[in-house]
C-alpha cells in the first residue's frame, strides 16, 4: 500500500499585512433621513453611526477588493505572484458563478492562485482567516489573501426604519503567511440555524420577479442584539481561553462593527480593562459585514491606536446565525 507524502507547511501562521478600501462617497445620517421617519440623534444613540460609505458604479466588489488587497500585499512585503490562494467572503456579489475571487486573483496578477468565495455573513472574515491558517500550516499555500468585501447599499431597503441607517460598503484584506511562533489562535466558531430568520434576505432570488421589489436585508433588531451581547461574549471568552490569554493580557478588541451599543455591552460583559483599545470604526463606516473587522484593524494600525505585535481578540457574528472568534497578533 502506497503512503501519501506528508505536507510541508509552516509550523504556524500569522497575519503579515492588512489593507482597506472605503468608497469615496461619504453618506451622513441626513441622507438616510430623507426616506425614513427618524432623527440623527436617534440613529446615533441606537447604533453609534454618524456616516457610512456607499460605492459608486465603478467601485464594484472586485474593484474595491483589488484596492484593499494591493495595500495588504504591499504591507506584507511580498508580491502578488507569491499569493497561493485567494479567499473572498461576501454576500453582495450577485453572480452565482464564477466566484469573484477568480477575477480578483487575475487582476492582482497572481500566478494562477486557488480562488474561491465563501458566504458566512458578518463572520466571514473569521471563517476565511481560519481557512487561510490551515492552508499555510498544511502547506497548500505559502501566502493566502483573505478578503472581506461588501456593497450592502445594494441590499439596503431605504424605507426600512430598522435597517436603512445600518449598512455601508467597503473592502478589507489581510495576507496570511508562515510564522515561527503562534500568532493566530484556535478559532471558536459555529452556527445556530434555528435563529436564521432573525437576519435574512427579504425574498430569495427565485421570487424576485413576482415580489416586484429588489431583495434587501432585514433583521429582528432586539433578538439580534440580545444574542450578540450575551451569547457572543461567551464565544469571545472561549476564544481567549483557547489561546491561553486572559482579558487583562489583551491589547486590542476588534469585534464586528455592527452597532456601538453591542460593542459597549460586550466590553462590559467581558470586563475588559480600560487599557484595551476597542475598535469603533462603525461610527464612520457603518456595518460592512464581512469587511468590518479587517477595515477596523487597518484603521487602528493606521491611526496608531494599535501597533504591530499587539495581541487582539477578533470576533464576527451575523446572519445564519454564525460566528467566529480568535486571538491574533497584529501585523
pLDDT tens across 185-208, in order? 999 999 999 988 888 888 888 787
Three-class SS state of 224: helix
Catalytic residue, from 29, 53, 122, 259: name it: 122
Catalytic residue check, 56: no
- Label residue 301 by pLDDT band (50, 70, 90): very high
C-alpha closest to that of 199 among 155, 263, 239, 229? 155
Report, as an integer, the average pLDDT of 265-273. 95
The predicted structure's pLDDT at residue 186: 97
C-alpha distances out from residue 264 to 42, 222, 229, 270, 280, Å: 17, 16, 9, 10, 10
Catalytic residue check, 259: no
pLDDT tens across 139-160, in order? 999 999 999 999 999 999 999 9
Mean of the per-residue pLDDT values of the chain:
95
Catalytic residue check, 53: no
The residues, ordered by sequence, that sit 6+ positions from 300 with a Cβ below 8 Å of its Cβ are: 252, 254, 277, 279, 306
Peptide bond into 98 cis (omega under 30): yes
Report, as an integer, the average pLDDT of 88-112. 96
- Label residue 292 by pLDDT band (50, 70, 90): very high
Say what the pTM is: 0.95
- Label residue 220 by pLDDT band (50, 70, 90): confident
Catalytic residue, from 29, 93, 256, 259: name it: 256
- Asked if the model's pLDDT at residue 263 lies above 70, the reply is yes
Cell of 146: 483573505
The predicted structure's pLDDT at residue 6: 77
Please tell me which residue, 319 or 178, carries the higher pLDDT value.
Answer: 178
Amino acid at each position: 500500500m502506497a503512503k501519501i507524502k506528508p505536507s510541508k507547511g509552516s509550523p504556524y501562521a500569522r497575519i503579515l499585512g492588512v489593507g482597506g478600501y472605503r468608497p469615496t462617497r461619504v453618506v451622513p445620517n441626513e441622507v438616510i433621513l430623507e426616506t425614513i421617519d427618524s432623527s440623527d440623534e436617534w440613529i446615533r444613540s441606537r447604533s453609534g453611526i454618524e456616516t457610512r460609505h456607499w460605492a459608486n458604479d465603478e467601485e464594484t466588489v472586485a474593484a474595491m477588493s483589488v484596492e484593499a488587497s494591493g495595500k495588504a500585499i504591499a504591507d506584507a512585503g511580498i508580491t502578488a505572484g507569491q499569493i497561493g490562494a485567494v479567499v473572498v467572503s461576501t454576500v453582495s456579489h450577485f453572480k452565482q458563478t464564477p466566484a469573484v475571487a477568480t477575477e480578483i486573483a487575475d487582476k492582482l496578477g497572481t500566478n494562477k492562485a486557488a480562488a474561491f468565495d465563501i458566504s458566512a455573513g458578518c463572520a466571514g472574515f473569521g471563517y476565511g482567516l481560519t481557512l487561510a491558517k490551515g492552508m499555510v500550516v498544511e502547506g497548500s499555500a505559502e501566502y493566502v489573501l483573505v478578503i472581506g468585501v461588501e456593497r450592502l447599499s445594494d441590499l439596503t431597503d431605504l424605507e426600512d426604519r430598522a435597517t436603512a441607517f445600518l449598512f455601508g460598503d467597503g473592502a478589507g484584506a489581510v495576507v496570511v503567511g508562515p510564522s515561527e511562533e503562534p500568532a493566530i489562535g484556535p478559532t471558536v466558531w459555529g452556527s445556530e440555524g434555528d435563529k436564521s430568520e432573525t437576519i435574512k434576505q427579504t425574498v430569495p432570488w427565485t421570487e424576485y420577479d413576482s415580489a416586484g421589489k429588489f431583495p434587501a436585508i432585514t433583521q429582528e433588531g432586539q433578538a439580534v442584539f440580545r444574542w450578540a451581547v450575551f451569547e457572543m461574549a461567551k464565544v469571545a471568552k472561549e476564544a481567549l481561553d483557547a489561546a491561553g490569554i486572559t482579558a487583562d493580557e489583551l491589547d486590542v478588541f476588534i469585534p464586528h462593527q455592527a452597532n456601538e451599543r453591542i460593542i459597549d455591552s460586550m466590553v462590559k460583559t467581558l470586563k475588559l480593562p480600560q487599557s484595551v483599545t476597542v475598535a469603533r470604526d462603525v461610527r464612520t463606516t457603518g456595518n460592512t459585514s464581512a469587511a468590518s473587522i479587517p477595515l477596523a484593524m487597518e484603521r487602528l494600525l493606521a491611526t496608531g491606536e494599535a501597533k504591530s505585535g499587539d495581541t487582539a481578540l477578533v470576533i464576527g457574528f451575523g446572519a445564519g446565525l454564525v460566528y467566529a472568534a480568535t486571538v491574533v497578533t497584529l501585523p
